[in-house]
A = this chain, B = another copy of it.
Amino acid sequence: MSLDLVIRGGTIATASDVFRADVGIRDGRIVQIGEGLGQASQVIDATGRLVLPGGIDSHVHIAQPSGDGIRMADDFESGTRSALFGGNTTVLPFCLQGKGQSLRDALRGYHALATGNCYTDVSFHLIVSDPTPSVLGQELPALVMDGYTSFKVFMTYEGLRLNDAEILATMDTARRTGALVMVHCENEDAIRYLIGRHEAQGDVGPRAHATTRPVAAEREATHRAVSLAEIVDVPVVIVHVSNGAALGEIRAARGRGRKVVAETCPQYLMLTAADLDGMDWEGAKFVCSPPPRNAAEQEACWTGLEQGDFDLFSSDHCPFRYDDPAGKLNPKGRTSFAHVPNGIPGVETRLPILFSEGVSKGRIGLSRFVALTATNHARIYGLEKKGSIAVGMDADIAIWDAGAKRTIAHADLHDGADYSPYEGIEVTGWPETVIVGGRVMVRGGELVGAKGTGRYVPRALSSLARQAAV
């Protein structure tokens, strides 16, 4: 068989196996894996390198309006470019339904922004913020059929959070359609209550962001989310788990036989609430929700990664500029923590951080790394041709230099924000070549592929949800 591209001599890792072989690619797909594969138009020598499935980041926010007229720091061009340089080949941003808006309509907007502008493949989760009967009864079922097979609901953020009845109704639509529901678990009312107490005391600096979103508020919402899913009898994804107590609720639900997917993110391994203490509002650079916790909770998250309690490791990339008045901190923002936009950049640093802190330091094996950063995302979210180095899969591949040493500096990154919360962290291991659909996009740290190479990918039902669907 004639091949377009052969990657020779690398060490391939899947979620199951690590082995040395060539990879043969034709028409954008992996068609052969073996020793001594035949000739090809293009050859990459991967001797001494790791050949991994391209990262899938199933939790990123791009070009999403966030209220108060604040713009996100990344559009699809900068966001996917940053993802690409970080070793990713697919990202799953969110399509946010506005109040009163049809999801079809919202999707049209995101597709318009994405089309022709992406460096990686993209697919969309649907944020359901206005679950009217027609949205639940007609629009969502049709969208699931069209390949938008996951919904996200929020238990926090005014204007976005759903009440329990709305969550149940959305989960019921998932039950009937086989879609998968993701939940942001924090109790909005509890947070509002605590914000009120803090503001009444004049405690308005960024650190209060962490204090007013305590572990108890996340633990409560997590237990509620898994319980509502139990009532409806659907699987559920708990995104960005930040601490051991919330993870404990997930473990307990699994012990009751519930299908619960758990995700954590780099911020819960690398940052703590103390980072929000920065002088002169520097702490605002670390404002995200749930907030970073403390060393003990970081350790609990590591234990969860090591023990396989977490299925997904995502970035929750949600970039805002720190200095631009139109960006992260509008003037109002400077007046109280309650107005700092929630979210930090991280799509480019996710993989190097986990590789370095996890694989290089021996806390997790290479197969677990691949599962956490690519394979599980594909299986859970219905990307049937992605997430592994296997025959028939899309040729989405990242070639890593496991020994490369880098110091993270925002100056070297490719996103649209003006800082990185991980500035100065030293990592061992970096993706040097990134291939999307068989096309080399990054080589030796240089962009060699074209904007627009990344395509939109409709998705099948999650294997999880399929089992549960009526």
Contact = CB atoms under 8 A, between A and B. Distances in A.
A362 B279 CA distance: 38
A23 to B, nearest CB: 10
A188 B231 CA distance: 12
A168 B187 CA distance: 11
A121 interface: no
A438 to B, nearest CB: 14
A54 to B, nearest CB: 15
A306 interface: yes
Interface string A172-194: 10000000000000011110111
A21 interface: yes
Given A14-B16, A34-B391, A388-B17, A165 B192 contact: yes
A16 B16 contact: yes
Contacts of A367: 16
A244 B1 CA distance: 52
A391 B192 contact: no
Interface in A212-263: 214, 216-217, 219-220, 223-224, 227-228, 230-232, 248, 251, 254-255, 257
Given A20-B392, A220-B223, A365-B463, 19 more contacts: A15-B17, A17-B375, A17-B393, A19-B390, A21-B390, A24-B34, A31-B36, A32-B35, A33-B34, A35-B392, A163-B189, A165-B192, A165-B193, A187-B224, A187-B227, A190-B227, A190-B228, A190-B231, A308-B308
Interface in A375-416: 375, 388, 390-393
A123 to B, nearest CB: 19
A371 B375 CA distance: 15
A17 B227 contact: no
Which of the listed residues A20, A216, A219, A393 has the most CB atoms from chain B within 10 Å of its own CB?
Answer: A216
A32 to B, nearest CB: 3
Contacts of A14: 14, 16-17, 390
B193 A232 contact: yes
Contacts of A217: 227, 231
Which of the listed residues A37, A248, A255 has the most CB atoms from chain B within 10 Å of its own CB?
Answer: A255
A254 B303 CA distance: 8
| Identical chains in the assembly | 4
B35 A33 contact: no
Contacts of A19: 390-393
Contacts of A390: 14, 16-17, 19, 21
Given A190-B227, A227-B190, A255-B303, A391 B216 contact: no
Nearest to A194: B231
A47 interface: no
Interface string A24-49: 10000001111111000000000000
A138 interface: no
Interface string A1-22: 1000000000010111101110
| A interface residue count range (under 10 / 10 to 19 / 20 to 34 / 35 or more) | 35 or more
A217 B232 CA distance: 11
A257 B248 CA distance: 13
Contacts of A31: 34-36
25 contacts: A14-B14, A15-B16, A16-B371, A19-B393, A20-B392, A21-B390, A31-B34, A31-B36, A32-B32, A32-B35, A32-B37, A33-B33, A33-B34, A163-B189, A165-B189, A165-B192, A168-B193, A172-B193, A217-B231, A224-B224, A251-B251, A257-B299, A257-B303, A257-B306, A362-B467
Interface in A191-214: 192-194, 214
A169 interface: yes
A393 to B, nearest CB: 7
A172 B192 CA distance: 13
Which of the listed residues A34, A194, A467 has the most CB atoms from chain B within 10 Å of its own CB?
Answer: A34
Contacts of A190: 164, 168, 227-228, 231
Contacts of A20: 391-392
A134 interface: no
A430 B444 CA distance: 49
Contact of A231 (B193, B248, B463): B193
Contact of A16 (B17, B35, B193, B216): B17
A195 to B, nearest CB: 12
Which of the listed residues A169, A194, A257, A299 has the most CB atoms from chain B within 10 Å of its own CB?
Answer: A257
Given A1-B35, A19-B391, A216 B220 contact: no
